[in-house]
Amino acid sequence: MCGIVGYAGNIDTACGKPLEVCLQGLNRLEYRGYDSAGVALSAPGMDQVVVRKKAGRLKNLIDDIERRPLPDATVAIGHTRWATNGEPSDVNAHPHTSRDGKVAIIHNGIIENASQLRLDLQAEGYRFASATDTEVAAKLLGKIVDKVIAENGGKPDLFEAMRRMARMLEGAFTILATDCRQPDIVVGARHDSPLVVGLGDGENFLGSDVAAFVAYTKRAMEIDQDQAVCVSADTVTVTDFDGNVIANPKTYTVDWDASAAEKGGWDSFMDKEIHEDPAAVQRTLLGRFDANGDIMLDEVRIDEHDFKAIDKIIVVACGTASYAGQVAKYAIEHWVRIPVEIELAHEFRYRDPILTPRTLVVAISQSGETMDTLMALRHAREQGSKVLAICNTQGASIPRESDAVLYTHAGPEVAVASTKAFVAQITAAYLLGLYLAQVKGAMFRDEIHQVLDSLKDMPRKIQWVLDTQASTIQSAAEHTVNANSFLFLGRHVGYPVALEGALKLKEIAYTFTEGFAAGELKHGPIALVDEGEPVVFIVPPERGRNVLHAKVISGIEEVKARGATIIAVAEQGDPDVERYADVVFWRPQCPTLMSPLVDVVPLQLFAMDMAKLKGYDVDKPRNLAKSVTVE
Ligand code: M6R
């Protein structure tokens, strides 16, 4: 949830770069948490680590530093917080320091045995200023550092101290630390929380994800579960928590530029990312076909033989990613004729799911760091099932711990509300479904190619929605901005789209919204319908051929008769919809299974327009963080 950045530069040249790197990195990581921010700096000759931290957005910290400049440094660590232990405040902000102020740490995660450790330290006379688990770790690390110094005849060894502390902590953590007695290094450790190294020339970086340093280097190194790392300007050493050196940690090149994570003239990241929906679908399809146009998923690393044996799929995911999985269920069951279950990742392992070696578990995650999804996939693997990740973030924990990965190529998604990742996830899941149909012979080759042609045409159709529907959507938002609540209804693939539309409006416009399967209307939700209540219907395409079309129209009639305001997402020129709806967001003609890729787009825009009309920050909604790295 929190954003972490670290920098180690040249020991002979204390300068402003460590601070610059931290503030740059925090700016890019702010989507991970924005309750408070802080930095700690070390340089030769310092008696204590220099710490500055402020509650609120990063801007507060930057303004404060401009008013009271910080000294030059050789190393630095920086943090942007999403509060778990202790309210957002100056005192609870990270970094936290050791009792003597010589060591400072930043932390992402939750230390579950912090209360006991705090009591133990208090019994030894330690005092705490904050309510955080992180301060407990800071005091503990300081104590261990002193012990190591005593054992080493006065020589500090922050790396060894960090490993010893990591062995004592329970819960999830990524921790970075600096010690003013070793101003040439930054050390870190991770357990169930992300950490990645950026490899520079004469400088090295640490970050919770590559966004922390991509402006400086695109060469990255993975830090695995239960590993510790020490970076100086010229060296990177990775060990396990017992000190055994990891010989060749995996390195990779980041496949996007820093500019991809910038607003580039757009009003908000969300606006930019919605407008990248077409490109997200297109890029996810790129390079996935052989010369004959058949699907080729080389990167997937699961044997064709194993794929043939699969007799059930379980999708585990949370939030938007789970709705993408729910859309894919309709398509994959239809194409491959094997059952597909969707399970919220946080519920999965607690219901004792039936898993066999022939079950393929598909973990869908934009960030690749969602703890609930990570735990679900670990459970599936322990039970002997294969796990395939559909992920948007190279080298993240979820793809690393899966048997196979199908990357979406949506590019970095910065806004907290997931948009382009949703369409990319559906596209990747469709590729997987069609690939399964191909290897299992569940569909004729021509049929598969026909579906693929429709899929390849979807970026153009999404673009049409973006180009033609924006003003209708904006005026619909203006007309309904004061509504207290909304209902979103759909059937078949329109049902998860309704859920996703409802989620978008909840999370960024803070409007009470519920999504339902339209068939459920008469079983309860219709009681909520009152004069003027806005009800959004996803009307299925293929009128006349799709039996559900008429049923959804009946639903519209029923709520219309009770005075509701009808907003419909429907196929261009649909006469039934024209008759009943107050507002229509039109979609171009497309097959039913492709419709979610276009139908979600006006709902994303609608939520964004609504949030902007209410004056909210659409990129950083209250109480939320982009990646949920705690359970
Ligand atoms: O990074 P992930 O795709 O695993 O994240 C899953 C959910 O936390 C995420 O989709 C969340 O629901 C978004 N805020 C939705 O906009």
The pLDDT assigned to 370 comes to 95
DSSP codes of every residue in 43-95: -TT-SS-EEEEEESSHHHHHHHHHHSPPPPBSEEEEEEE--SSS-SSTTTSSP
Structural Rg of the chain based on CA atoms: 26
The pLDDT assigned to 545 comes to 79
pLDDT band at 101 (very low <50, low <70, confident <90, very high): very high
The pLDDT assigned to 255 comes to 83
Task: Ligand 1 pocket test: pick from 503, 623, 628, 631 the residue with the most ligand atoms within 8 Å of its Cβ.
Answer: 628
- Ligand 1 site, residue 628, Cβ cutoff 6 A: yes
Shortest CA distance to 241 belongs to which of 155, 372, 144? Answer: 144
Question: How far is ligand 1, taken at its centre, from the CA of residue 87, in Å?
Answer: 23
The pLDDT assigned to 572 comes to 95
The pLDDT assigned to 155 comes to 97
Q: Please give the C-alpha separations between residue 39 and each of 47, 48, 122, 302, 534, in angstroms, as whole numbers.
A: 17, 14, 26, 44, 46
Q: Which residues pair with 388 in a beta bridge?
A: 362, 404
The answer to whether the peptide bond before residue 95 is cis (omega within 30 degrees of 0) is: yes
Helix or strand holding residue 7 (H, E): strand 3-8
Query: Most confidently modeled of 72-86, 517-531, 604-618?
Result: 604-618
The pLDDT assigned to 258 comes to 78
Residue closest via CA to ligand 1's atom 10 equals: 320
354, pLDDT greater than 80:
yes
Alpha helices in 383-419 (DSSP H): 397-401
- Phi-psi category of residue 492: left, alpha or beta, with phi > 0 → left and psi -120 to 50 → alpha: left
- Ligand 1 site, residue 273, Cβ cutoff 6 A: no
The pLDDT assigned to 631 comes to 77
pLDDT in tens, 418-445: 999 999 999 999 999 999 999 999 999 9
- The model carries a pTM of 0.88
544, pLDDT greater than 80:
no
1, pLDDT greater than 80:
no
Q: Which residues are catalytic?
A: 2, 626
Residue closest via CA to ligand 1's atom 12 equals: 319
pLDDT band at 261 (very low <50, low <70, confident <90, very high): confident
The pLDDT assigned to 260 comes to 80
Question: How far is ligand 1, taken at its centre, from the CA of residue 171, in Å?
Answer: 22
The pLDDT assigned to 535 comes to 97
For the chain, what is the mean pLDDT? Answer: 95
Task: Ligand 1 pocket test: pick from 273, 367, 398 the residue with the most ligand atoms within 8 Å of its Cβ.
Answer: 367
Shortest CA distance to 569 belongs to which of 550, 546, 552, 551? Answer: 552
The pLDDT assigned to 219 comes to 97
- Relative to the CA of 416, which ligand 1 atom is closest? 14
Which residue segments constitute the domains of the chain, with CATH numbers given?
Answer: 3-258 (3.60.20.10), 263-443 (3.40.50.10490), 467-630 (3.40.50.10490)
What percent of the chain has pLDDT above 70? 100
Query: Most confidently modeled of 27-36, 348-357, 446-455?
Result: 446-455
Average pLDDT score over residue span 285-314: 90
Question: How far is ligand 1, taken at its centre, from the CA of residue 494, in Å?
Answer: 19
395, pLDDT greater than 90:
no
629, pLDDT greater than 80:
no
The pLDDT assigned to 298 comes to 77
pLDDT in tens, 485-513: 999 999 999 999 999 999 999 999 999 99
Question: Which tokens go with 515?
Answer: 């999504």
- Amino acid identity of residue 628, one-letter, is V
The pLDDT assigned to 244 comes to 98
- Relative to the CA of 366, which ligand 1 atom is closest? 3
The pLDDT assigned to 627 comes to 79
pLDDT in tens, 163-195: 999 999 999 999 999 999 999 999 999 999 999
- Relative to the CA of 504, which ligand 1 atom is closest? 16
The pLDDT assigned to 262 comes to 82
